[in-house]
Structure 1
């Protein structure tokens, strides 16, 4: 993994675990009972790896190329450089991170989902 200079990992974890105590949600809400700090740490670490290794490098090229809209077909074409980051995001399950398990999601708390999105957007 590339050095993470985009996100202050300690700050993210301080906010989630020391201020918000998301790792204790399972004791209060049964839908989060299967999640503990280790699971959340794995998700955050994976988000950082995808953000730093895949998304960040694509952004410079994507800013130059940009998306293209075809008004005739009403289709948007993304730059080729985004295909790999989007594939990594999708294949890692982040697209359904906070969706209920009953419909195929992971059922993570919204706070973990938003922390991951913040990492991806850095």
Structure 2
């Protein structure tokens, strides 16, 4: 089951990057997803994967809303914050967390610290918001 989720994840990222659902692009995406090398097997919970897939579905409209907000209400302040990595994250789930944080226009992960922290740059409307 986890193998199928890895394939779905790879295809989802492919389609988010290409924004093209033509037959040729689907074939290329499936080929790339199948040809990418596997990673070391780590015990991953189906519950964690389903939660992350739900977060992906929420992040897409959130990204559009943030983009519109930035257009109409410019954000002139920025800061760097440290966010704690969620417990029991495998490398695949850490990658997804970084992808989701960076996918939204107001935030980007600058660095992943091996001791369990993400260094996140974000823009805000006010200094203390």
TM-score, normalised relative to structure 1: 0.40
Tell me: higher relative CO, structure 1 or 2? Use CA pairs within 8 A at least 6 residues apart. Answer: 1
